[in-house]
Amino acid sequence: MKTSVWMKGIVAKAALLASVAIVGVTINQAPARAEVGQITIAKQYGLLFLPLVIMEQNHLMEKHAAKAGIPNLVVKWQRMTGGNVMNEALLSGNLDFASGGVPPFLILWSKTQGNLNVKGVAAMDSLPIYLNTRDPSVKTIKDITDKNRIAMPAAGISIQAIMLQMAASKEWGPDQARRLDKNGVTLAHPEAMSQLLSNMGSIDHHFASPPYNFLELTKPGIHKVLDSYDVLGPATCEVVWTTTKFHKENPKIYKAFLDAFQESIDFINANKQQAAEIYVKSTDNKESLKSTLEIINHPHTEYTTTPKNMMKYAAFMKQVGLINKTPAGWKDLFFPEVHALPGS
């Protein structure tokens, strides 16, 4: 009787071990979590976002996703008016890749360290941004008064807002960096240009990116007050960013995006005429091919994935309290895939 009970125990243990082994094999052989079947990429208005326009029009994301073994990826494109709106969409899960000025990106990077850990995918470009006005009495920022209104994509946090703060800090001292914040008005570039040129309404200044800044200066009565190049020199204007969660869970799609983005940058630099044609077509031919090509060929225009002067932005934004920590270096801000680039 004892022998029978003992044998039953041995058999039960063997069955249990076999069951555990089978479960272990099943777990080890379980297929990896599938990557998402649809992504949403956001862009804004103007030539600062030409690489994304080329990506969309030439279907480069779909092309590289198919190469990575994801042939049916659905790619949705959204146009947003500023980096602050992008950040809200990214945090709510309604956006996978955000794009915009360095300041909104740095703000979200700072806020999400230790949780979502938002980081940059790559830089996008460096182009001249001008503060233009129709007010003949304003020659420099020292002449701006309380009655003047400055349109920009996101008052207070856009790249234009930070450049204005940098200029104010240089003019009046660091404690006066935000002296002109009260003059800022959030407005999309096309609407801001329309109001500036119409000579109606309160908008009499526009801190505009290409092509709007160049177009405005062709109109009588409009002149330039400030050039971003004089404020910061050759520095990255726009970047693309996403969450660490998306980067980790969708490695093939992330790589496909980066490959598509790089192909777009290379295309622009090798085919400027064709890139200009694609951009103008994307605007329903509302913009001039000649002026578009002139802007792309401007000596201060550069399309590149290499981040430039990121630490200057970060140091200033920490100084004025817009971010709560300064990165140890530019690589802290970006995912490893671009760390080999000669960034700054």
The answer to whether residue 183 sits within a structural domain is yes
The answer to whether residue 1 sits within a structural domain is no
* 254 in the same domain as 117: yes
* 71 in the same domain as 92: yes
Q: Which residue has the tokens 């709560």?
A: 324
10 Å CB burial of residue 63 (0-12, 13-18, 19+) is middle
Q: What is the CATH number of the domain that holds 137?
A: 3.40.190.10
Give the per-residue pLDDT at 201: 83
The answer to whether residue 2 sits within a structural domain is no
Domain boundary pick from 206, 232, 258: 232
Q: What is the mean pLDDT of residues 118-133?
A: 98
Tokens at residue 309, please?
């002067």
* 116 in the same domain as 150: no
Q: What is the mean pLDDT of residues 64-93?
A: 94
Question: Number of folded domains in the chain?
Answer: 2
* 245 in the same domain as 101: yes
* 241 in the same domain as 223: no
Mean pLDDT of the chain: 91
* 149 in the same domain as 118: no
* 325 in the same domain as 274: yes
Domain boundary pick from 232, 259, 287: 232
pLDDT in tens, 176-197: 999 999 999 999 999 999 999 9
* 121 in the same domain as 142: no
The answer to whether residue 4 sits within a structural domain is no
Q: What is the mean pLDDT of residues 205-217?
A: 97
* 245 in the same domain as 107: yes
Q: What is the mean pLDDT of residues 207-235?
A: 96
Q: In angstroms, how far apart are the furthest CA atoms of the chain? A: 110
Give the per-residue pLDDT at 11: 41
C-alpha 224/C-alpha 191 separation (Å) is: 19
Give the per-residue pLDDT at 32: 55
The answer to whether residue 169 sits within a structural domain is yes
* 134 in the same domain as 121: no
Domain boundary pick from 232, 264, 280: 232
* 326 in the same domain as 242: yes
The answer to whether residue 32 sits within a structural domain is no
The answer to whether 47 and 208 are in contact (CB under 8 A) is no
pLDDT in tens, 272-312: 999 999 999 999 988 999 999 999 999 999 999 999 999 99
Give the per-residue pLDDT at 70: 96
* 145 in the same domain as 97: no
Whose CA is closest to 232, among 331, 127, 156, 157?
Answer: 127
The reported pTM is 0.87
C-alpha 334/C-alpha 91 separation (Å) is: 18
10 Å CB burial of residue 25 (0-12, 13-18, 19+) is exposed
Enclosing domain of residue 183: 130-232
Residue 334 has pLDDT above 90, yes or no: yes
pLDDT in tens, 249-281: 999 999 999 999 999 999 999 999 999 999 999
The answer to whether residue 254 sits within a structural domain is yes
